[in-house]
Chain A
Amino acid sequence: MLGNFDFDVIRRSLPYLFYEGMTFTLTLTALSALGGLIFGTAIALMRLSGYKTLGRIAGLYVDFMRSLPLVLVIFWFYFLVPYIGQWLTGASRPISVGAFASSLITFIMFEAAYFSEIMRAGIQSISRGQPAAANALGLTYAQTMRYVVLPQAFRNMLPVLLTQTIVLFQDTSLVYVLSIPDFLGAASKVAQRDGRLVEMYLFAAFVYFTISCVASFGVRRLQSRIAIIR
């Protein structure tokens, strides 16, 4: 029952939860979103490049990633990255890269598949006259993408990209399976140590809920503002 709900355990663990846990979660979210967007845009450009093989490889990558549960992908990279590191550096043993780097690589590779689909839709939503006009002015393919197509695709898709980032923010909690102290991991650690599961998990839920709610409210406002400008 909630009769002996202990607020104090939350108060006492706040510095740990936020300085350690939430910092990890937010840094991981921000860097993964950035990396995922860059890598995802590259994949989208590959798919739309018109080179059949390149497009097919990119398509396979996206389909492959989107068919697998994130938890499995987290395990995959957790065990695979040390071997890749060894192979890249020529070291004699698998190199340990640390929890943060491993999760970051995982989320960038995983989210790239999802961001690439958003960017692809964004690029395709631009009328074909736009690249034609840019070409007619003498802009090269790269310049056309850089100055004309991608800025518009990014702007049109900004609400969707941000919504995906909120999903990503929630998904980072899954690094729990590697016993990494992200926000949920930190809350869980305190919960087990002090035997206060109810308090800590309710508080964690409340924090995730509040942040996601505020963020999606912001996205909705942005969306309606963009809708007016168009």
Chain B
Amino acid sequence: MIEISHVDKWYSSAFQVLKDCTTSVAKGEVVVVCGPSGSGKSTLIKCVNALEPFQKGDITVDGTKVNDPKTNLPKLRARVGMVFQHFELFPHLKIIDNLCLAQEKVLGRGHDKSVTKAMMLLDRVGLKEHAQKFPAQLSGGQQQRVAIARALAMDPIAMLFDEPTSALDPEMISEVLDVMVDLAREGMTMMVVTHEMGFARKVANRVIFMDRGEIVEDAPKDDFFGKPRSDRAQKFLSKILSH
């Protein structure tokens, strides 16, 4: 589904953020990407739907080459859902309109159909009664659930999560993770940047560990938690699992 091969990215000639990154996510697979901050994991996931440009290598999503200038990026992005660290709901639009905007403007869906779809998804994330509110009136956890629903409204073939819980207060993390776990169990193809190792243990097929722009480890979940091969991954795991 997602093929990343030999991707290099520089911010300036002196600073390389991604070094020869190669990996893939198969259909129905859940891949968790972790690593210390500044390791390039968020940058990598943003390259998948071309929010960040990269200089070398190729990324294909469902057979479409992301870095081909001829690719219709809006069309591609409409098929890949993304959830951001800071939710990025549109603060000037009601919850329901946040869910309908892209359905109507990008997919060309009728208003009634969009609303029906939106309400169905809001119900699914448990926020149906908040449809007429504005984003700022919701808690962080609720906003992130809305953001997931907004991405799902586009009927995506895959979902990208960029640290979806790291801006949340601790008591709100589980409500978001629950939605994500359900999604994974339904067979959604997911690429998730997160430090939530509990989530990884529960539903991930593979875990990727990144450090300083490189993919250091790319292993099935059980191998990764059982016996990570690299020092850096071991150190990282001991730091975040020690509490």
Instruction: List the count of A-B residue pairs having beta carbons below 8 Å apart.
Output: 74
CB–CB A130/B88 < 8 A: yes
Chain B residues closer than 8 Å to A230, beta-carbon distance: 136
Any B CB within 8 A of the CB of A147: yes
Instruction: Report A147-163 CB contacts with B as 1/0, cut-off 8 Å.
Output: 11001100100000000
Please classify how large the interface on chain A is, using the bins under 10, 10 to 19, 20 to 34, 35 or more: 20 to 34
CB distance from A119 to the nearest CB of B (A): 15
Any A CB within 8 A of the CB of B74: yes
User: When chains A and B are docked, how far (Å) is the Cα of A229 from the Cα of B154?
Assistant: 30
Q: A130's contact among B79, B81, B90, B154, by CB below 8 Å, is which?
A: B90
CB–CB A135/B77 < 8 A: yes
Residue of A nearest to B97 (CB): A147
Residue of B nearest to A138 (CB): B78
CB–CB B84/A137 < 8 A: no
CB–CB A129/B105 < 8 A: no
Any B CB within 8 A of the CB of A70: no
CB–CB A127/B92 < 8 A: no
Any A CB within 8 A of the CB of B172: no
User: When chains A and B are docked, how far (Å) is the Cα of A152 from the Cα of B134?
Assistant: 13
Interface centre among A132, A133, A136, A152 (most CB of B within 10 A): A136
CB–CB A129/B136 < 8 A: no
Instruction: Report B96-132 CB contacts with A as 1/0, cut-off 8 Å.
Output: 0000011001110000000000000000000000000
Given known contacts A129-B84, A148-B90, A152-B91, A137 and B51 CB-to-CB distance under 8 angstroms: no
Chain A residues closer than 8 Å to B92, beta-carbon distance: 151-152, 155
CB–CB B84/A133 < 8 A: yes
Given known contacts A129-B84, A129-B86, A152-B91, A137 and B77 CB-to-CB distance under 8 angstroms: yes
Residue of B nearest to A144 (CB): B74
Chain B residues closer than 8 Å to A125, beta-carbon distance: none
Residue of B nearest to A126 (CB): B91
Any A CB within 8 A of the CB of B200: no
User: When chains A and B are docked, how far (Å) is the Cα of A229 from the Cα of B88?
Assistant: 18
CB–CB A138/B86 < 8 A: no
Chain A residues closer than 8 Å to B90, beta-carbon distance: 130, 133-134, 147-148, 152
Can you list 8 A-B pairs with a CB-CB distance of less than 8 A?
A132-B46, A133-B147, A137-B77, A137-B106, A138-B102, A138-B154, A147-B105, A152-B90
Top 3 closest pairs, chain A to chain B, by CB: A138-B78, A133-B88, A137-B102
A residues touching B (Cβ–Cβ < 8 Å)? 127, 129-130, 132-140, 143, 147-148, 151-152, 155, 229-230
B residues touching A (Cβ–Cβ < 8 Å)? 46, 49, 51, 73-82, 84-86, 88-92, 101-102, 105-107, 136, 147, 150-151, 154, 160
